Chains A and B, each alone.
Chain A
Amino acid sequence: MSPDILAAIFGLIFTLMVFSYLLRDNPLFRIAVYLFVGVSSGYAATVIVYSVLIPRLRLVQADDLNQLVVAIVPVLLGVSLLAKLSPRISWIGNFAMALLVGVGAASALGGAVLGTLIPQAQAAIDAFDFRAAPSASDAIFGLVSGVVMLAGTVFTLGYFHFSAERAPDGSARRNRVFEPIAWVGNIFIAITFGVLFAGVYMAALTAMIERLGFLINFLR
């Protein structure tokens, strides 16, 4: 029996085990899930060792002090993270953890500012730039699109403005200005969630079609 056939058989079995969740939560589904998680973790560990650590250590030349330092420092920091397994000596890995969090936060923050906030703000402003439009229709479309985008942004942000004043009867009531903005923003949010749900459904539907096609093709 070829490995492809064995892989197809195991794929069929595990696919049916996952589909058994339609009945109810059952051990077969759990076994399949645990196996997927375990196999994924094991594969990830193997990839890290053979794709990250070993290739980097092989590049270190013993006679090059700079390479040794560059190679040893990350190794020590990585080993110090193992101290996090024990609460008594977890402080040893604090430095490496601080380094990771600091570098990660700095890079993420820099990327968010330079890659998201400023460009998105610039794009929202450019939506009303008719000069970039090649034609009048494009300019009008761009304007409408910009207005809708602006309206959607403003109304959605207005929806999340939860400040309210207390009415004479004691009930909380939004400001009269923000109340219609929030209502329009609620529509935009509903559309967004609908789009996201549709995307999730389409993604799941695609995966289901693929699995059903696999089963059908295997049974054939």
Chain B
Amino acid sequence: MADIRCPSCGKNNPDFLDHCQFCQSPLKPESILRAGETPTKKHTGELEPVLPEWLRDLRQQARQSAEEEAVQQAARPKEQKDEPPDLLAGLASQAGAEDDEIPDWLASIGPTAKAASETPVEENRQSLMEDSEDQSEEQEEKDELSAWLSEASQEPSEPFTLEPGVFQDDPDWMSNLGSTTGSPGEPSAPKEEEDLSWLHNLEASAKQSAEPAEPGRDTSRTPGSASTQPFSEEQDLGWLNNLGGLSEPAAPFDPSGRVPAQDQPAPAESSAPQDDLSWLENLGGTEPLQPPQSPPPAEDLSWLNNLAGTSKLSQPQPEKSSSPEDPGWLNTLGRTPESLQDEPAQPLSDTESMFDAPDSSSEIFSPRRTAPLGEEALDESLPDWLKSATEKPSMPPLGAEGLDWLASHDLDRDQPSLTQESPTSPPQDISGEGEPATSPPSDQPQEIPVFVPPSETTPASDQDVDSLFSMDMPDWLSSPEAGTGEDSTREAETPPVESGDSLAPVELPSWVQAMRPVEAVLSETGPGAAEQAPEKEGPLAGLGGVIPLLPIGSTRRPKALSLTLQTTDEQRTGAAILEEILTSETSPRPLVAPASVSSQNILRWTLAGVVLLVLGLMIGLRSQRMPVSSALPVEAGAASNAIANIAEGAPVLVIVDYEPARAAEMEVLGGALLNTMVSSRRPTLSFLSTSPNGPALAERLMVNTQLNNGSQGVQYSNLGYLPGGSAGVLAFIESPQTAVPAARIESFSQYAAVIVLTDHAESGRAWVEQLEARRQTDLAFANQPMLVAASAQAGPLLQPYVSSRQVTGMISGLPDAARYEAVNNISPGIARSYWDAFGVGLLLAIVLIVFGSLWSLLMSIRPRRAGTE
């Protein structure tokens, strides 16, 4: 058989080992199972033929009993466990749900999950206690080793196979740790009659060996009996060691120990049970019980040294760092599933002798019963532990302090002095047995107590066991378990209450942080999380800042802001005024109808009727009786003279700038002027308008004034609309053809006369201004007459231009037109036809104005007189 050289310690190991038997370092890269990884299933049943006859019989019986028990359990409904009212109880129940996701920390602790999933928790606890009681009774009559072996013989020796998917689904692996024993109902007496000589021989050989068995020698001593089955069983025990806080296996691997080999060295076997018990001690060490004897402090310390030495006895190299924060502990946990199959078995006499659970989990750990034990451990520690475990339950009630022990690991680790005073210190048993617990672990591993004394001082009761194994250990609570074996042992011995002040603040797990109240709700003036002392007891022991010191209801609330606006008196006054204005704007106001509306309407209708009646009568009568003055105004005379001076047939520009509403008046004016000119000079008329309606009005003018009558033979052209206002007028004066392409003349000065027909002063003034400006620069325009026929309303405004001689002549309104017709003998002129009606209308207007004025005067005098009288 080839040897494998350990890469860590350099010592040779058998090739079938995955871990170094000296330093427990992984020999093969694939044998390393890290946290979160799934262990690989390995078949070790083929090695069963190499087992001795008696062991095979035991295994066969165990299989049968396991099958029967499995059938019985399948038939029974699973009982619901009554959880104590603690905070973590809910977590345990939640973790047990199949639908819930398995946390990583739970998945990494795989080996026990399978057993937990297959074995009812309640039954395991019952079997635990029954088995403990039975053992206590039998202890008086039987040999301790024989009793342990009898218990162990009930366990099936069938090698277990790990199913990662199964053990990850069960979070109650803690409670099933103790259920690896056989069923309590099976009698153990027949098993005692088994041949145990091999075990005694093994113990004797272990005593003879002064040093730990070396690998090469061990393998040579058990050449052909080596099988993989015991390795996996020992691996189970190592997993318990890891769980109990020991980062490294307490004993080196001994391949010969898996079978009743005489030359199997004891250290591995003797230390393994001790580690298991130390772990149990840690579990149950939270509730200090009064020990029967108060051990001296010195002995406690020595015991602690021994405990620490158990993990160092067979380790040729220094133990790895095992601080509480060391993540290597998690690696150890994650490695346990694989090591259960590969590593050599370590005795599980501690658990197997206590628990008698013939379930599937017992199959997993059953080979550990066959593991050889050290002589001293078997002879001394095992019976005491079993005896004390059954007689002195020390587990605290779960609801009270069932979980405090978990937090006490950190507390006790920092206060070793407290552990000396602790009444539950395990060295009592060791010292009581007279065995030196301070013996060098490397040289005398067999002298190290197999079982941890706390099992005697803190025997687990039913309730304690429930709280112990039914709880769900979260990752943050398991992290302190990663301490060294020495530290964890010390921590387990110290009650957590006494060392609560020295708890180091730990990092809150995610689920605890989620339970914390929102920081915004907390008072800002309150102490921060860092200032708060960690909790001393309860499930939050060791955690600081989780619960605020001040109750949530007493937190400081935001300062109340006054909703009243701080304003001054002036601002209030202004606001009141503004409000009043807004109110007055929005409030409806009653419309006060004037009382004189009806009278005004009547007056208006009366006046309109009178005017219409008079004018209609005058028009209907076609009266032309009213005389027309023959004296022309100066401007009208000037216009007549200008027309008389126009050359015959000369082009005359007629500007039509009036609105259709004034067409009647303008047609009267234009008709009188144009008729005189056409009749006397026969000019060529060109009509242009600065109003869009001008071209149509020009045509209407020609029709209504009868200028287009063929008899007169007038020639005219309608140039259309001249856009641009003043600019257009200027452009047309500058260049007629450019402004109006229809113009037939090249220069504006070629027009013999310019006649402007306008009803408002602005349009007439534009022509006057632009033409006057042109006259100042061009002498050709100096003799060009400009005549204006303005409406009666525009005449007075254009009179200044006539006075300034900018306008040669002007006739304004119907009176000038009638006079002009009369002077020029234009008959029948339109002006003359309107003259009587126009005259009556003027008189009527004058009468009405006078009458109205007098009426107003009288109406104003009457009140005054009435007041005077």
Question: Contact between A47 and B792 (Cβ–Cβ < 8 Å)?
Answer: no
| Min distance, Cβ A195 to any Cβ of chain B, angstroms | 5
| Min distance, Cβ A35 to any Cβ of chain B, angstroms | 12
Write the chain B residue with the least CB distance to A215. Answer: B616
Question: Contact between A47 and B814 (Cβ–Cβ < 8 Å)?
Answer: no
Does A103 belong to the interface (CB within 8 Å)? yes
Contacting residue for A216 out of B619, B662, B813, CB 8 A: B619
Docked pose: A128 CA to B189 CA in angstroms = 163
| Min distance, Cβ B700 to any Cβ of chain A, angstroms | 11
Which residues from B are CB-within-8-Å of A59? Answer: 741
Main DSSP-derived SS at the A contact region? helix
Write the chain A residue with the least CB distance to B612. Answer: A212
Does A110 belong to the interface (CB within 8 Å)? yes
Interface flags for A42-57 (1: CB within 8 Å of B; 0: not) read 0111011001100110
Which residues of chain B from 588 to 616 have any CB-CB distance to chain A below 8 Å in the complex?
601, 604-605, 608, 611-612, 615-616
Does A119 belong to the interface (CB within 8 Å)? yes
Tell me whether A205 and B842 are in contact in the complex, defined as CB-CB below 8 angstroms, given that A122-B804, A199-B792, A216-B620 are known contacts. Answer: yes
Which residues of chain A from 73 to 113 have any CB-CB distance to chain B below 8 Å in the complex?
103-104, 106-108, 110-112
Does B103 belong to the interface (CB within 8 Å)? no
Which residues from A are CB-within-8-Å of B771? Answer: 115
Does B791 belong to the interface (CB within 8 Å)? yes
Contacting residue for A51 out of B611, B695, B776, B797, CB 8 A: B695
| Min distance, Cβ A28 to any Cβ of chain B, angstroms | 16
Tell me whether A55 and B773 are in contact in the complex, defined as CB-CB below 8 angstroms, given that A196-B793, A199-B795, A202-B838 are known contacts. Answer: no
Question: Contact between B769 and A114 (Cβ–Cβ < 8 Å)?
Answer: yes
Does A26 belong to the interface (CB within 8 Å)? no
Question: Contact between A111 and B726 (Cβ–Cβ < 8 Å)?
Answer: yes
Which residues from A are CB-within-8-Å of B741? Answer: 55-56, 59
Write the chain B residue with the least CB distance to A103. Answer: B727
Tell me whether A116 and B769 are in contact in the complex, defined as CB-CB below 8 angstroms, given that A111-B726, A198-B792, A212-B619 are known contacts. Answer: yes
Which residues of chain A from 192 to 208 have any CB-CB distance to chain B below 8 Å in the complex?
192, 195-196, 198-203, 205-208
Write the chain A residue with the least CB distance to B659. Answer: A40
Question: Contact between B727 and A203 (Cβ–Cβ < 8 Å)?
Answer: no
Does A9 belong to the interface (CB within 8 Å)? no
Question: Contact between A52 and B721 (Cβ–Cβ < 8 Å)?
Answer: yes
Does B668 belong to the interface (CB within 8 Å)? yes
Question: Contact between B772 and A119 (Cβ–Cβ < 8 Å)?
Answer: yes
Docked pose: A208 CA to B618 CA in angstroms = 12
Question: Contact between B838 and A205 (Cβ–Cβ < 8 Å)?
Answer: yes
Does B696 belong to the interface (CB within 8 Å)? yes
Tell me whether A202 and B662 are in contact in the complex, defined as CB-CB below 8 angstroms, given that A44-B693, A47-B692 are known contacts. Answer: no
Question: Contact between B768 and A115 (Cβ–Cβ < 8 Å)?
Answer: yes
Does A123 belong to the interface (CB within 8 Å)? yes
Docked pose: A149 CA to B837 CA in angstroms = 34
- How many chain A residues touch B (CB < 8 A): the figure is 51
| Min distance, Cβ A140 to any Cβ of chain B, angstroms | 16
Write the chain B residue with the least CB distance to A219. Answer: B620
Docked pose: A23 CA to B693 CA in angstroms = 30
Tell me whether A104 and B727 are in contact in the complex, defined as CB-CB below 8 angstroms, given that A123-B803, A203-B662 are known contacts. Answer: yes
Question: Contact between A23 and B721 (Cβ–Cβ < 8 Å)?
Answer: no
Does A6 belong to the interface (CB within 8 Å)? no
Docked pose: A107 CA to B728 CA in angstroms = 9
Interface flags for A110-146 (1: CB within 8 Å of B; 0: not) read 1110111001101100010000000000000000000
| Min distance, Cβ A121 to any Cβ of chain B, angstroms | 9
Does B25 belong to the interface (CB within 8 Å)? no
Does A38 belong to the interface (CB within 8 Å)? no
Which residues from B are CB-within-8-Å of A205? Answer: 615, 838, 841-842, 845
Write the chain B residue with the least CB distance to A207. Answer: B664
Question: Contact between A123 and B792 (Cβ–Cβ < 8 Å)?
Answer: no
Docked pose: A183 CA to B140 CA in angstroms = 148
Tell me whether A47 and B721 are in contact in the complex, defined as CB-CB below 8 angstroms, given that A116-B769, A196-B796, A206-B838 are known contacts. Answer: yes
Question: Contact between B806 and A48 (Cβ–Cβ < 8 Å)?
Answer: no
Does B323 belong to the interface (CB within 8 Å)? no
Docked pose: A196 CA to B842 CA in angstroms = 14
Which residues from A are CB-within-8-Å of B665? Answer: 203, 206-207, 210
| Min distance, Cβ B762 to any Cβ of chain A, angstroms | 10
Does B765 belong to the interface (CB within 8 Å)? yes
Does A209 belong to the interface (CB within 8 Å)? yes
Write the chain A residue with the least CB distance to B813. Answer: A202
| Min distance, Cβ A51 to any Cβ of chain B, angstroms | 4
Question: Contact between B793 and A104 (Cβ–Cβ < 8 Å)?
Answer: no
Tell me whether A211 and B664 are in contact in the complex, defined as CB-CB below 8 angstroms, given that A55-B741, A104-B727 are known contacts. Answer: yes
Interface flags for B767-781 (1: CB within 8 Å of A; 0: not) read 011111100100000
A-B residue pairs, 9 tightest by C-beta: A115-B769, A44-B692, A111-B769, A210-B664, A123-B804, A51-B720, A114-B773, A202-B792, A199-B793
**Interface contacts beyond A52-B720, A116-B765, A210-B665: sample of 4 additional A-B pairs, CB < 8 Å, sorted by A:** A47-B695, A114-B776, A200-B793, A210-B664
What are 22 A-B pairs at a CB distance below 8 A? A40-B660, A48-B692, A48-B723, A104-B724, A107-B770, A110-B773, A111-B773, A116-B768, A119-B801, A127-B803, A195-B796, A199-B793, A199-B794, A200-B792, A203-B665, A203-B793, A203-B813, A205-B842, A207-B661, A209-B834, A212-B615, A213-B619
Interface set of B (CB-CB < 8 Å, partner A): 601, 604-605, 608, 611-612, 615-616, 619-620, 660-662, 664-665, 668, 692-693, 695-696, 720-721, 723-727, 729-730, 741-742, 759, 765-766, 768-773, 776, 791-797, 800-801, 803-806, 812-815, 833-834, 837-838, 841-842, 845
